[in-house]
Amino acid sequence: MTQAAGEAQEVRRSFGLRMVVAVLGLVATFGTSVLAVRALDARPAAGFLAVLGALMLGPMVGRLGLGQSAIRAISAAPGPGEVAVQVVAHLRAVALLSLLTAPAVAWLATAVVQDDRGRVVLLVAAMIVLETVRLTVSDVFAALGRIPWSVAATHHSRSIIALVAMGVVVLASGGSTTLLTLLTVYAGTSLALLAVVLSALLVGLPRRARGTGRRWWAPMLAAVAAGAWLFTVELGAFLVGRGDVWLAGWAFGAQDALEYSTASVLAMQVTVLEGLANIAIAPVAARMWAAGEHARVFRLLSASATLSTAVTVLAVALAWLLGPQALALYGDGLGDAAPYLGVLATGGLGMAVCGSCAVLLVVTGNGRAAAGSVTVAMLVAVPAAVLAARLGGPLPLAVASAVATAVLFGSYVVACRRTFGRAPLPTRHLRTSLLVLAGRDAAAPASPETEIVATGGGAA
């Protein structure tokens, strides 16, 4: 098997398995949110949806970009000993950072909660730490090429297990329960899953090389420094993707906050393919770039963007057509949030079209350029969203969030063009893109623009 065929097989295997588990995970996330909304009163239900947002932001803060850094460092490691050094360094770093930052994130995320808030904050902080470490383990498995274990450690797998456990508890309690009970069940499933995947990683981890001359904290600090710029990228994605849920909890009454939060959680699902494709492709793209195969990296990322955009367009259309029916499953009155869902889902197109540009900047070590773009975009988008929420209401906030998503991911296109002279954007050739993703494009000639990049023009 040629190297190109092996890489294509890895992408197909990773993407296929991740897609199956992600679909089940999306159904589970939908079921979990429906279960919580129906089993809790309006304010605790809005609090539960806000906690789901905290389980996205908390790991971003706690990992400080170390997930992507681990993929790059492990993929480029020269031998098993250095692999072990990088794995241990990244896990230590995320554990310490998460312990320090999780309480603050938990406090911010639970602003809408009134009853038992102190215990809820402690429980959410523990959940964030568990989630942070487990997601880093998933990235390590991805870098090592152990795809089934990487998928098992994802939040999609956790969502599937959590839905089953929560369903049992709600049924046993007669259809109603408390926020604290649901969060306890959620935390228990996260802890159990972490124990399983971490054990699998440590058993198969190569022994650390001896005689490196480095203290234990030296590679950890180096990992933190490498990942710091990437944290800004992840933070920006959260702010435009789920930060509006927290803003809604702060700015709106209980019912409006619940309606908006429900629409936002559902709207984020339209971009699931883009996220899965980037996770599957990032380790392969990092190795290709390190090997000097720059033209292939651009073709691969452009093909991924083409497929992701096509699927996202279909998902957005379904959100507009079937939004009221989907939201009605959450309970009476929530169908009124359908316009918010349609607007927020439309904003997700910006993520699908431009998301591969963020991957390119990360795997090529241009995190600083990506961070600069995010910072500029957020200086405009965040104040605009706050003003929209305070002065307008749920619909203006939805419009501001959708525009912010397009502005943020569009800024990655600008950064790529400045750094490389071009950007991996979607094309109209869906069939060709599928062939590229399948590894059957080896004989295809590169475009003149690609050849410039491949020979060093604009290379980082």
- Reported as a single tens digit per residue, the pLDDT across 425-454 is 999 888 888 888 776 654 444 433 333 333
As given in the structure block, the two tokens for residue 186 are 């959620």
pLDDT 10s digits, 215-266: 655 555 665 655 555 666 666 666 665 677 778 877 888 788 888 888 887 8
Residue 89's pLDDT band (cuts 50, 70, 90): confident
Q: Residue 134 to residues 216, 274, 289, 451: CA-CA distances in angstroms? A: 21, 21, 27, 40
As given in the structure block, the two tokens for residue 297 are 């990296």
Residue 423: pLDDT over 80: yes
Residue 274: pLDDT over 80: no
Residue 287: pLDDT over 80: no
**Top-ranked range on mean pLDDT: pick from 75-79, 371-375, 389-393:** 389-393
What's the pLDDT score for residue 234? 65
pLDDT 10s digits, 111-170: 777 778 888 899 999 999 999 999 889 888 887 878 888 889 988 899 999 999 999 998
Q: Residue 195 to residues 92, 127, 208, 421, 458: CA-CA distances in angstroms? A: 16, 14, 22, 45, 45
Q: Is the pTM of this model over 0.95?
A: no
What's the pLDDT score for residue 3? 55
Mean pLDDT of 45-70: 76
Q: Which of 89, 94, 167 is nearest to 131 (CA)?
A: 94
What's the pLDDT score for residue 451? 33
Mean pLDDT of 396-403: 91
**Top-ranked range on mean pLDDT: pick from 57-66, 198-207, 269-278, 376-385:** 376-385
Q: Which of 398, 396, 166, 124 is nearest to 261 (CA)?
A: 398
- Mean pLDDT of the chain, nearest integer: 79
Q: Which of 427, 345, 414 is nearest to 374 (CA)?
A: 414
Judged by average pLDDT, the poorest of 29-43, 200-214, 335-349 is 200-214
Residue 268: pLDDT over 90: no
Residue 104: pLDDT over 50: yes
Residue 33: pLDDT over 80: yes
Q: How far, in Å, CA of 156 to CA of 149, rounded?
A: 13
What's the pLDDT score for residue 2? 53
Q: How far, in Å, CA of 232 to CA of 65, rounded?
A: 8
What's the pLDDT score for residue 204? 67
Largest CA distance in the chain: 66
More confident: 345 or 25: 345
What's the pLDDT score for residue 185? 92
The percentage of residues in the chain with a pLDDT greater than 90, rounded to a whole number, is: 19
Residue 374: pLDDT over 90: no
Check if the beta carbon of residue 34 is closer than 8 Å to that of residue 329. yes
Angle at 243 between CA 240 and CA 249, to 5 degrees: 140
Q: Which of 400, 415, 316 is nearest to 356 (CA)?
A: 415
Q: Which of 88, 68, 91, 69 is nearest to 80 (CA)?
A: 88
Residue 344: pLDDT over 70: yes
Residue 277's pLDDT band (cuts 50, 70, 90): confident
